[in-house]
Structure 1
Amino acid sequence: MDIKILVADDDKMLRELVCDIIKKQGYIPVDACDGQQVLDIFFESNDIDLLILDVMMPVYDGWRVLKEIREYSDVPVIMLTALGDEKHEVLGLKKGADDYIAKPFSYEVLIARINTHLRKVKKERLAKIKVGEIIINQATHKVMVCDLEVELNRKEYSLLIYFIKNRNMVLTREQILFSIWGYDFDGDIRTIDTHVKTLRAKLLECGKYIKTVRGSGYMLEVDES
C-alpha cells in the first residue's frame, strides 16, 4: 500500500532529513519549499495521505495553507514548527491541524505521531464501504450495486468515494472540481455535470442517491435508518 506524505518547510536540510525519515518507514515523501508549492502539489496530485506543515514559509504561511486545504479536505496535518509555545499550539489545533510538534523534534516522537495518524488512513484504505445498496471494496476498487458489479473508471470511482465520504453534505461544483480534478484544472466546470450524469447511470437504481442541489451542486443522500 503506497502512502504519500507531503513535507512542507523552507529549510532544505530539515526537509531532506524528514523525507529521509519517511522513506525509512516505507512511505513516499514529496517535498515543498513554500506555501504556494504546497497547494499546487496537494491539489494537483490528489493522493496525499498526510501533510507535515511548517508555519513560517514564503509566499503563503502554514496558517493560510491549512485554511485553504481544510476547505476541501480532512487529510491529517501535522504542524512541525519553531513556534513551540502553548499559544501557537492551541492556535494550530483550533485552525484544523491534527497534531503540533515543536522544533527541535525527537526522531522517535515524529515517527510515532506519523504512524498514529496514518493508522486510520490505512484502515480506511482497506475497509469495505456499504452505503445503501452500494458496496465498495477499497482494496480492489470493486463496486457492487444491488448485488451486481459495475465498472467505473478512475474519475468515476474517485467521485463516488468523495460523495460517500461526504454524504448528506452539499458539495459545490468548485469543491468537487478541486478535490477530484485538481487545483489547476483549466477545463469546463460542466465536466462535473457530465461525470455525475454518467455515474448516476452506472449506479443503476442507486443513482437516485446523488441529488442535484439547485444553485449549489450535489449531495449524496441515503436513508440508512
Structure 2
Amino acid sequence: MLSILIVDDDAHIRELLRFYLHKEGYQTIQAADGREAIAILEAEQVHLAIVDIMMPHVNGYELCTEIRSYYDIPVLMLTAKGEITDKERAYSAGTDDYIVKPFEPKEVLFRIKALLRRFQMVNEEIIRVGHVVINRKSYEVDANGRTMILPLKEFELLAQLAQFPDRIFTREQLIELVWGNDYAGNDRTVDVHIKRLRERFAPDRAGFAIQTVRGLGYKLEVFNQES
C-alpha cells in the first residue's frame, strides 16, 4: 500500500485529504508542520508528499527543498498562495505539481495518480510473482490454478512484499504499511503472519520465498523461472 504524507497546519484539511485518500486505498501519515514532516520522512517510508506553504517552524518551500535533496518522491504543493511568484518559488524549490486552495478533492486525487505514474509507484491491481497471481481488486490469490481467499492482513502483507520483490522491509515498516500507524500491538504480529504465509505458499510450488534478513526484516525473493 502506497503511503502519502499530508503536511498542513490546518487539521480540517488534513482530515479531508485523509478521508478521500483512504477511500482510494492509500495509507496516510499526517504532519502539522515542516519540522514534524522531516522527522516522519526520516523514520517512515513515504511515496508522495502533499505540502502546504504557510506553516510554522519549517515552511513548505524549505520542506520541499529538503525532500528534493534527500528523497526521490513526488511533491504536490497544496496552498492558498496563488500568485505566479509563489508558484515560481515553489517550482524552484522542487515541487512537481501545484494546486491552489480551495480545491476539489477529486482533482487532488487524479493529480496524485499522475505523479505516482510518473514516478512508477502505482498501486497495481494485479501482481504476478512466481506462480502466483494476486488480485488487489477482488482480494483473491490464484496459486497454480487454485483460487484462495486469505485473511485480510495476510493478503495485504503478501501483496506489499510481492509488489516490491527483493526489497527489504523492516517489521516496523510492514506494521505501518499493513496495520497502520495507530496499531497498538507489537512487531511479533508480522512474524506470525509471515509464518502463516510460508505455510500456505511452499517455495517449490509458489515460485517465491519470503526470506528473513537477519537484523533487518523480510523480503520476497522470486526464483528464476526456466522456460
TM-score, length-normalised on structure 1?
Answer: 0.62
Whether contact under 8 Å (1:150, 1:203) holds in the other structure is no
Distance 1:84 1:202, change over 3 A: farther
How many Å apart are 1:208 and its aligned residue? 4.8
Query: Of 139, 142, 156, which residue of structure 1 is paired with 2:140?
Result: 142
Letter in 1 for 2:8: D
Whether contact under 8 Å (1:150, 1:202) holds in the other structure is no
Whether contact under 8 Å (2:209, 2:222) holds in the other structure is yes
- Which whole-Å deviations, capped at 9, do the CAs of 1:71-122 have from their partners, x for residues lacking one? 8xx7x652223483545424344xxxxx3316468x69x865642433668x
Instruction: Find the counterpart in structure 1 of residue 91 from structure 2.
Output: 89
Q: Specify every segment of 5 or more residues in structure 1 that has no aligned partner in the other structure, as ranges.
A: 43-48, 94-98
Letter in 2 for 1:115: F
Instruction: Find the counterpart in structure 1 of residue 183 from structure 2.
Output: 185
SS in structure 1 of the partner of residue 222 of structure 2: coil
CA-atom RMSD in angstroms = 4.7
Query: Of 173, 176, 191, which residue of structure 2 is paired with 1:175?
Result: 173
Query: Of 97, 100, 103, which residue of structure 2 is paired with 1:100?
Result: 97
How many Å apart are 1:134 and its aligned residue? 0.9
How many Å apart are 1:133 and its aligned residue? 0.6
2:120 corresponds to 1:115? no
Distance 1:176 1:90, change over 3 A: farther
SS in structure 2 of the partner of residue 221 of structure 1: strand
Distance, in Å, in 2 between the alignment partners of 1:144 and 1:10 is 45
- Which whole-Å deviations, capped at 9, do the CAs of 1:113-144 have from their partners, x for residues lacking one? 642433668xx667322111110122211101
How many Å apart are 1:196 and its aligned residue? 0.6
How many Å apart are 1:220 and its aligned residue? 0.7
Distance, in Å, in 1 between the alignment partners of 2:196 and 2:24 is 35
Distance, in Å, in 2 between the alignment partners of 1:141 and 1:208 is 19
Whether contact under 8 Å (2:133, 2:143) holds in the other structure is yes
How many Å apart are 1:27 and its aligned residue? 7.6
How many Å apart are 1:61 and its aligned residue? 5.7
Q: Specify every segment of 5 or more residues in structure 2 that has no aligned partner in the other structure, as ranges.
A: 41-46
Letter in 1 for 2:112: H
Letter in 2 for 1:100: D
Whether contact under 8 Å (2:211, 2:219) holds in the other structure is yes
Instruction: Find the counterpart in structure 2 of residue 221 from structure 1.
Output: 221
Distance 1:33 1:208, change over 3 A: closer
Distance, in Å, in 2 between the alignment partners of 1:8 and 1:50 is 11
**Segment of structure 1 superposing worse, 143-152 or 204-213:** 204-213
Instruction: Find the counterpart in structure 2 of residue 96 from structure 1.
Output: none
How many Å apart are 1:7 and its aligned residue? 6.4
Runs (4+) off by over 6 Å: none
Instruction: Find the counterpart in structure 2 of residue 200 from structure 1.
Output: 198
**Segment of structure 1 superposing worse, 78-87 or 135-144:** 78-87
Whether contact under 8 Å (2:53, 2:77) holds in the other structure is yes
TM-score, length-normalised on structure 2?
Answer: 0.61
2:9 corresponds to 1:10? yes
How many Å apart are 1:12 and its aligned residue? 7.5
SS in structure 1 of the partner of residue 141 of structure 2: strand
The percent of aligned pairs where both chains have the same amino acid is 31
How many Å apart are 1:53 and its aligned residue? 2.8
